[in-house]
């Protein structure tokens, strides 16, 4: 079977995504430290983070429509340039020594809005640059890079902040987007244009594609539950690690173990080809109940850390398997819209978890929200077994007219 990296367009896309993912991975540490250093306020940090998240959530469905109407390369190139400019601006402000909070916030709004248009283009970019038989390998490669940057990015970001300053981390991210845009110029992406209609009609059609597949929308509920549960763990876990697991070092080891597990899960996904991919992937995702339950009962640190590594391996395995399943089963003309709803529901669950977890912990103690989150994520993910569409979903053979590079109406 041919390897996707033998295709020039995918090689360029892969290189660009690798650089932009690495650049993005250094930003969380840099942004947190930069805002806290400039303002000394966690409330200011929350405002800046909201400035990036809110426009992304609001505009994701619109981004899906744009991704289906226009060639994915054009949309991705434009959003890379916008994000390059916004990150370079923040970097220059920080390096200038007198950053203003409102300027950083506006830059994050612009970057978040651009992300809403960029995220739905990922699947169309992959399906438009590789042949149907190469999709799984292509998604596995993307998953490995995504996991590897999550493993090394925070360390790189911390090193940059401590040695050169937070501004250089933003400069690095901006340059990574600029190089990604330059590489996209040489990418040729197959694209089947859709008829021009109203934005509302396109949104309805995309939602209709979601509703018509029970395996898809029930899995979206499960994935949203996972994201909400992850927010609960990230909110309450550090304090438990500090008081019951041996301190900050235990939490740091737990996070690094999770990053390693994520990478191993992605590597496994590149080799495993389950006959019922959606079912197997969702069951793997249900393993996130393990570390939540361990934290709830204050289990010994080694057990909790190991459980978190296993749970993250389940996530690493799910991502490429799920993406290949979706790309193979969803018509190419609706792929960006369908995946935008996936992103929307998943991302929207995280602020809910961040908000409710501390309130519930204050009322009943951290054990209660952690235990509830474990039940919810385990039940939602494992519960998809009861859905006929999930049980019956097997690796579909995509129709050449929908996905093959030789059977497209337009190629740019």
Under 8 Å CB-to-CB from 200, ≥6 apart: which residues? none
Mean pLDDT value across residues 281-292: 96
Under 8 Å CB-to-CB from 35, ≥6 apart: which residues? 41, 44, 45, 48, 101, 104
Share of the chain above pLDDT 90, in %: 61
Q: What is the pLDDT of residue 26?
A: 84
Mean pLDDT value across residues 165-169: 88
State the pLDDT confidence band at 407, using cuts at 50, 70 and 90.
very low
State the pLDDT confidence band at 260, using cuts at 50, 70 and 90.
very high
Under 8 Å CB-to-CB from 164, ≥6 apart: which residues? none
- Please check the confidence at residue 187 and state whether its pLDDT lies above 60: yes
State the pLDDT confidence band at 411, using cuts at 50, 70 and 90.
very low
Which has the closest alpha carbon to 34: 116, 114, 92, 119?
92
pTM over 0.85: yes
Pairing of strands 190-191, 410-411: antiparallel
Angle in degrees, 0-180, between the axes of helices 214-244 and 367-382, rounded to the nearest 10: 150
pLDDT digits (tens, 9 = 90+) for 306-323: 999 999 999 999 999 999
- Please check the confidence at residue 150 and state whether its pLDDT lies above 50: yes
- Please check the confidence at residue 220 and state whether its pLDDT lies above 90: yes
Q: What is the pLDDT of residue 118?
A: 94
Mean pLDDT value across residues 201-209: 93
Q: What is the pLDDT of residue 63?
A: 95
- Please check the confidence at residue 291 and state whether its pLDDT lies above 60: yes
Average pLDDT for the chain:
88
State the pLDDT confidence band at 404, using cuts at 50, 70 and 90.
very low
Mean pLDDT value across residues 128-152: 89
Mean pLDDT value across residues 404-410: 37
pLDDT digits (tens, 9 = 90+) for 9-50: 999 999 999 998 888 888 888 888 788 877 777 678 778 888
State how far the Cα of 275 lies from the Cα of 16, in Å rounded to an integer: 32
- Please check the confidence at residue 412 and state whether its pLDDT lies above 50: no
CA distances to 95, 158, 162, 211, 233 from 381, rounded to whole Å, are 45, 34, 40, 18, 17
State the pLDDT confidence band at 1, using cuts at 50, 70 and 90.
low
- Please check the confidence at residue 120 and state whether its pLDDT lies above 70: yes
Q: 111-125, 147-161, 325-339, 367-381: lowest mean pLDDT where?
A: 147-161
Q: What is the pLDDT of residue 397?
A: 55
Mean pLDDT value across residues 185-213: 89
Q: What is the pLDDT of residue 175?
A: 94
Q: What is the pLDDT of residue 30?
A: 83
pLDDT digits (tens, 9 = 90+) for 51-87: 889 999 999 999 999 999 999 999 999 999 999 999 9
Q: 214 burial class (0-12, 13-18, 19+ CB within 10 angstroms)?
A: middle
For the four alpha carbons of 350, 356, 359 and 364, in that order, the dihedral sign comes to negative
pLDDT digits (tens, 9 = 90+) for 341-394: 999 998 999 988 888 999 999 999 999 999 999 999 999 999 999 999 999 998
Q: SS3 of 101, please?
A: helix
- Please check the confidence at residue 273 and state whether its pLDDT lies above 80: yes
Q: Are 340 and 60 in contact (CB under 8 A)?
A: yes
State how far the Cα of 150 lies from the Cα of 260, in Å rounded to an integer: 9
- Please check the confidence at residue 2 and state whether its pLDDT lies above 50: yes
């Amino acid at each position: 079977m041919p390897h996707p990296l033998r295709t020039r367009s995918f090689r360029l896309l892969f290189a660009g995504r690798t650089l932009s993912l690495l650049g993005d991975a250094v930003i969380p540490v840099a942004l947190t430290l930069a805002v806290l250093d400039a303002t000394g306020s966690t409330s200011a940090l929350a405002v800046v983070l909201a400035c990036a998240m809110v426009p992304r959530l609001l505009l994701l469905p619109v981004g899906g429509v744009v991704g289906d109407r226009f060639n994915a390369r054009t949309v991705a190139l434009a959003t890379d340039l916008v994000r390059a400019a916004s990150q370079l601006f923040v970097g220059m402000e920080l390096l200038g020594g007198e950053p203003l909070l409102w300027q950083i916030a506006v830059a994050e709004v612009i970057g978040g809005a651009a992300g809403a248009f960029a995220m739905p283009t990922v699947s169309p970019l992959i399906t438009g640059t590789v042949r149907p038989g190469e999709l799984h390998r292509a998604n596995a490669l993307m998953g490995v890079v995504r996991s590897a940057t999550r493993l090394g990015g925070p360390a790189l970001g911390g090193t940059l902040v401590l040695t050169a300053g937070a501004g250089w981390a933003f400069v690095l991210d901006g340059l990574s987007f600029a190089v990604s845009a330059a590489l996209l110029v040489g990418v040729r992406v197959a694209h089947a244009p859709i008829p021009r209609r109203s934005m509302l009609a396109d949104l309805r059609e995309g939602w209709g594609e979601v509703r018509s597949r029970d395996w898809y929308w029930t899995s979206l509920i499960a994935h949203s539950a996972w994201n909400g549960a992850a927010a609960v763990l990230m909110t309450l876990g550090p304090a438990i690690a500090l008081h019951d697991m041996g301190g900050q070092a235990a939490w740091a080891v737990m996070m690094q173990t999770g990053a390693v597990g994520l990478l191993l899960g992605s590597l496994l996904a590149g080799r495993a080809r389950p006959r019922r991919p959606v079912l197997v992937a969702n069951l793997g995702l249900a393993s996130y109940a393990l570390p939540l339950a361990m934290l709830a009962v204050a289990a010994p640190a080694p057990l909790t850390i190991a459980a978190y590594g296993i749970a993250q391996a389940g996530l690493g395995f799910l991502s490429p398997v799920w993406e290949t399943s979706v790309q193979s089963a969803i018509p190419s003309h609706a792929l960006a819209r369908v995946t935008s709803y996936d992103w929307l529901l998943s991302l929207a669950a995280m602020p809910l978890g961040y908000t409710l977890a501390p309130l519930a912990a204050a009322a009943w103690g951290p054990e209660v929200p952690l235990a509830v989150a474990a039940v919810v994520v385990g039940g939602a993910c494992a519960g998809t077994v009861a859905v006929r569409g999930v049980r019956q979903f097997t690796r579909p053979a995509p129709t050449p007219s929908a996905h093959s590079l030789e059977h497209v109406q337009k190629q740019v």
